[in-house]
Amino acid sequence: MRIRSTPIDVLFVNWRDITHPEGGGSERYVHRMAEGLVGAGLAVAMFCAAHDRAPAEDVVGGVRIVRRGGRLSVYPRALLHVIRHRPHLVVDVQNGLPFGSTLVTRQPVVNLVHHVHREQWPIVFGRLGGAVGWWLESVLAPRLYRRSRYVTVSTATADELVGLGVDAERLTVVRNGVEPPPPVTAVPSPTPRLVVLGRLVPHKRVEHAIEVVARLRDRWPGLRLSVVGEGWWDAELRARAIELGVDDVVDFTGHVDEQTKHEELARAWVHLCPSVKEGWGLVVTEAGSHRVPTVGYRSAGGLRESVVDGRTGLLVDDLDELTTAVELLLADEDRRLAMGEAAARHAAAFSWRASIRAFAAVLASAVRPVGPAAPGSAPVAVVQDVDRLVARLLDGVVGVEGGLHAGDGSDAERGASAEGDQHGDQGLHSGTRFRGGRRRSVTLEGNVVIHNSEPVTTASQQA
C-alpha cells in the first residue's frame, strides 16, 4: 500500500528495518528510538532497503516505513527521498557506508553509528574492496558529518570515532535498553547447552562457537549448541560443523520469532558472542535477562560494556581462551549461576524509556542549538518549522510513555526506568538541560555521554 504523504518531523534513513531478514540489534535500537518519538507526538518515518518479507510501504509501531532499493541502491534512493519530502530532521544510520544526507538538506542531520567497521570491511569485501569501504567510513564520513551531532551506543565506539577525527563534544552515547523477557516455558537444560544468536555472516564468527563444541564434546557428553538466526553464511557454517564432526550436536534453528528466541536463551547454560565487533551486543543483555552469562571477545569493543568481565560473564582474547572460559563455566555451577544472577541484575538496569529520552535530547540540541540563530541563517519558514519541532521534542519526549511495546510496564522495567531517569537529560553537550519545554542552564563536568542508567565519561576525560 502507498502511505499518504504528510510532513515528516524526523526521518531515519537506514540500510535495513526491523522486519528485514538480516535485521538485528541495530535495527531493534533504531525502531525503538523511532517508536518513542512517535509516542511523543512526532511524525516519524524511515527509509530503508526493500525485501520480500514486507510491503514497499508500511506502518510499524506508528513509524511510516518506505522500502526502496537494494543493498547499495538504497543509498542514492534515500537521498532522493530526503530531497522530495524535506523532513525537519534526518537521522543517518551509518552501517559502515554513510548516507550523506548533509549533501542534500539544510536541516539538521544526526549521525547514528553503532560501531566502526575497520575489521569487517576486508572480511566481507576482500582487501581491495575493504580498503575502499574503510576510506569511505574513516575519511569521507567524518567530513560529510563534520557539523553534525553523533549518537553511538558505547564508549568504545565513541573513542574510535574520536580517533577518526570526530569532535568529542559532538558525541553522545545512548546505550541500548532491553525489554523485560516474556514468560517462557523453557528451563535450563539438564545437560550442557550453549547458544549463539545473531545474523549468520562471517564477521559474527559463529565458527568459533562450533569449534568450542568440537573441542569440548568428548569431555562433556550431551553438550549441544543452538545457532539461532539466519544469513548468507549459513551453508558455510553447516559445512564447518560437518567438517568438525559435530553436526549431530549443533542445532541450526534458522529465523525464529521473539518467543522462540527467548525459549532458546532460557534453556542455555552459557551464551557465546564471538563477533569481530559489536557496538553494544543487545543479545548479551537479552541472555542476561534469562540469567545466562556471556563469554565473548574483549576486542569486540562494545562487549567490554555490555559484559561486566568476571561478574556477568567472561571476556577473552582468542579461541583457546574462549574454549577454556566456556569449560570453566560448565564445570563450576556455582560460579555460572552467580554470574547469571548478576547478568539479570545488570540487564534490568537498562530501560528503553530512558534511552529514548536521551536520544530525543540529542535531537533537540541538534535542531535548536543554544543561543540566538545568526541573522539570515535560514528562511523564516525554516525557523518556524524548527521552533515547532523543538517544542514537540522537549514537551513530549521528556515524559514519553507512548510508543513502547506491551510489556514495558513491568515492575522490572519501571525500576530500571526510575534509575535511568536520574540522568536521562544529560545528553546536551551544550550545557543546557531541558524539562517541560523550558530551558535552564546547568554546569556539566566535561563531555557527558549517556549511559542508560548512569553517566559515563569519555576516555579522554579519564586520562
Hey, is 174 helix, strand or coil? strand
The answer to whether residues 298 and 207 belong to one domain is: yes
Q: Residues 48, 52, 53, CA angle at the centre, nearest 5°?
A: 85
The answer to whether residues 299 and 316 belong to one domain is: yes
Residue 422, number of CB atoms within 10 A of its CB: 12
pLDDT at 194: 98
Sheet strands (E) in 114-235: 149-152, 171-173, 193-197, 224-228
Domain annotation covers residue 441: yes
Hey, is 22 helix, strand or coil? coil
C-alpha cell at 115: 560501531
> Of 309, 329, 348, which residue is a domain's last?
348
Closest C-alpha among 435, 434, 428 to residue 169: 428
The answer to whether residues 200 and 87 belong to one domain is: no
Q: What is the pLDDT of residues 80-126, one digit of tens each?
A: 999 999 999 999 999 889 999 999 999 999 999 998 888 777 877 88
Number of domains in the chain: 2
The answer to whether residues 220 and 167 belong to one domain is: no
Domain annotation covers residue 187: no
Task: Put residue 69 in one of left, alpha, beta given phi > 0 → left and psi -120 to 50 → alpha.
Answer: left
Domain annotation covers residue 183: no
The answer to whether residues 81 and 151 belong to one domain is: yes
The answer to whether residues 286 and 316 belong to one domain is: yes
Domain annotation covers residue 343: yes
Domain annotation covers residue 188: no
Task: Put residue 407 in one of left, alpha, beta given phi > 0 → left and psi -120 to 50 → alpha.
Answer: left
The answer to whether residues 247 and 308 belong to one domain is: yes
The answer to whether residues 87 and 170 belong to one domain is: yes
Domain annotation covers residue 239: yes
Hey, is 228 helix, strand or coil? strand
Domain annotation covers residue 445: yes
Domain annotation covers residue 185: no
The CATH number covering residue 291 comes to: 3.40.50.2000
Residue 152, number of CB atoms within 10 A of its CB: 28
The answer to whether residues 119 and 3 belong to one domain is: yes
The Cα–Cα gap between 3 and 89 comes to: 20
> Of 306, 328, 348, which residue is a domain's last?
348
pLDDT at 120: 76
The Cα–Cα gap between 101 and 78 comes to: 8
The answer to whether residues 126 and 214 belong to one domain is: no
pLDDT at 19: 86
The answer to whether residues 152 and 209 belong to one domain is: no
pLDDT at 401: 42
The answer to whether residues 201 and 284 belong to one domain is: yes
pLDDT at 387: 54
Note down the domain range covering 448: 1-177+350-463
The Cα–Cα gap between 110 and 90 comes to: 6
Per-residue pLDDT of the chain (463 residues; tens, 9 = 90+): 555 567 899 999 998 898 887 777 789 899 999 999 998 889 999 999 999 889 999 999 999 999 999 988 999 999 999 999 999 999 999 988 999 999 999 999 999 999 888 877 787 788 888 899 889 899 999 999 999 999 999 998 999 999 999 999 999 999 999 888 999 999 999 999 999 999 899 989 999 999 999 999 999 999 999 999 999 999 999 999 999 999 999 999 998 999 999 999 999 999 999 999 888 888 999 999 999 999 999 999 889 999 999 999 999 999 999 999 999 999 999 999 999 999 999 999 998 999 999 999 999 989 865 444 444 444 334 344 445 565 666 554 444 444 444 333 333 333 333 333 333 333 322 222 223 333 332 222 234 344 454 433 333 333 3
Q: What is the pLDDT of residues 289-331, one digit of tens each?
A: 999 999 999 999 889 999 999 999 999 999 999 999 999 999 9
> Of 348, 377, 407, which residue is a domain's last?
348
The answer to whether the beta carbons of residues 353 and 400 sit under 8 Å apart is yes
H or E element in which residue 421 lies: helix 411-421
